[in-house]
Chain A
């Protein structure tokens, strides 16, 4: 059994007047330990629903989701989430936000060890200088870095990223992608990430999962990304398979499973 296993997972929402909305049908996915997997698909195709099933924030209505052999029955720090809207507490400083997570999860560690853990992750994302500022006083890119630091400080088994760079401008996004890549290559944690950005998926992932459109969305195709680690963006985009893979994904999204424009 793989480290993260999703078997025949379905999600049905009960609607008003007996109308059921089937968001996902028979989603199957196996993720090996230490693998970086990305989910791509149109808005409303259920990517976040899949992530929430693994996070435990919205359970599958049928099927099984297991992490390290244990079924997912609710949220937990071993499947920590980096939210799209950073979800930092605005009344706490950067350091206090990370410390909140560390204190909640690493209860057996002493005060000094926990402080060290917070400091280590502040340095990891390059926020040592801004540690005592509040989220309102730092940029969007820095806030997402805090979110990533907080998630990693918890030392999760699976890191779940819900369009973590979606709210940022393109240049900041590019920088943070490279930072995430560097961190992941050093720690090799299991990652499931949602994105809209094909280039981001190709740069970061080992495998890209292409979802079909809702309702009853499912896994359409899985693309293997062959680039060797350590990856550098310049080399990756120059590799011959890059544009072939990119075009394959774009064909899937815009031709085979194009999202009809809502009327």
Chain B
């Protein structure tokens, strides 16, 4: 009895002649998955929404099918440039123009001040508490102050962008400058590197990735801020378009604008990310 038990036996569940190799999915399946799954998710959400709207459970929010029908005029009139009926394209352009101006100013001032504050200890100690308080003020809270000062909607909106975008840029730049590794500072010291050479060849490149993180955070905040600011100031802009749509109960307009706002925000973020990759050397 024990003799047969001692012998090791292989008992395959299927004959060994069958293929024992596990079949791997083809390489392209990963890419198909990356597109297929999100598409399925969006379709599922859309279907659920359609069903809920059909059952009257979504209040004023229309079903996707209704939205799709209602936005056709907007899509056709995308590039309209009439005084009273600007197409969505021009609304977007107005908003982007304000963001471009406010953000550029914030970038220039933020990086310059950030370098000064990061490099000079007395300045850092002097201004850091002030910055930490100011940066927590919500962007829209600056709007009344701006309007009271300049009494015009457009400069006020640009100021709101500026004051929103500057804090991440300034603070990240300051941190990046402070984090210049001691090794690089030692190299500069031993070589008696001139201030200019140190600034351009060591300090800036070392802080660059921090600076671009700040720029990337700032663009997202700036885009959020402009949509909100324009709802309050009116005029031409995607924020005003959304608010106007709400006041006229044109829900389709709002949803259309939201999708576009989201898409533009995503593109802006990618743009800054790409700029950072191009300008900052990979380590």
- A interface, CB within 8 angstroms of B: 55-57, 74-77, 79-81, 83, 85, 87, 89-92, 100-101, 103-105, 134, 136, 154
Contact = CB atoms under 8 A, between A and B. Distances in A.
Nearest to A160: B190
Given A89-B201, A91-B205, A100 B191 contact: yes
Interface string B69-107: 000000000000000000000000000000000000000
Nearest to A162: B186
Contacts of B282: 134, 136
Interface in B167-205: 183-184, 186-187, 189-194, 197, 201-202, 205
Main secondary structure of the interface of B (DSSP, over half): helix
Contact of B184 (A56, A79, A89, A136): A89
Given A100-B201, A104-B193, A154-B191, 19 more contacts: A55-B190, A56-B189, A56-B190, A75-B190, A76-B192, A77-B190, A80-B190, A85-B183, A87-B183, A87-B186, A89-B205, A91-B205, A91-B280, A92-B201, A100-B191, A104-B194, A105-B192, A134-B281, A134-B282
Contacts of B194: 104
11 contacts: A79-B190, A83-B183, A89-B187, A89-B201, A89-B202, A89-B205, A100-B193, A100-B201, A101-B191, A104-B191, A104-B193
A136 B191 CA distance: 22
Interface residues of B, number: 18
Given A85-B183, A136-B282, A105 B191 contact: yes
Nearest to A76: B192
A57 B191 contact: no
A91 B279 CA distance: 11
A85 B183 CA distance: 8
Contacts of A83: 183, 186-187
Contacts of B186: 57, 75, 81, 83, 87
A77 B191 contact: yes
- Closest CB pairs A-B (n = 5): A91-B281, A87-B183, A75-B189, A104-B191, A90-B283
Contacts of A89: 184, 187, 201-202, 205
Contact of A57 (B189, B201, B281): B189
Contacts of B283: 90-91, 136
Interface of B: 183-184, 186-187, 189-194, 197, 201-202, 205, 280-283
A87 B280 CA distance: 19
Most chain B beta-carbon contacts within 10 A, residue among A85, A89, A105, A134: A89
Contacts of B183: 83, 85, 87
Contacts of B281: 90-91, 134
B205 A81 contact: no
Most chain A beta-carbon contacts within 10 A, residue among B183, B187, B205: B187
A58 to B, nearest CB: 10
A263 B194 CA distance: 46
B182 to A, nearest CB: 9
Nearest to B183: A87
Nearest to B189: A75
Contacts of A57: 186, 189-190
B87 to A, nearest CB: 45
Nearest to B283: A90
A109 to B, nearest CB: 15
Nearest to A83: B183
Nearest to B182: A87
A55 B185 CA distance: 14
A104 B202 contact: no
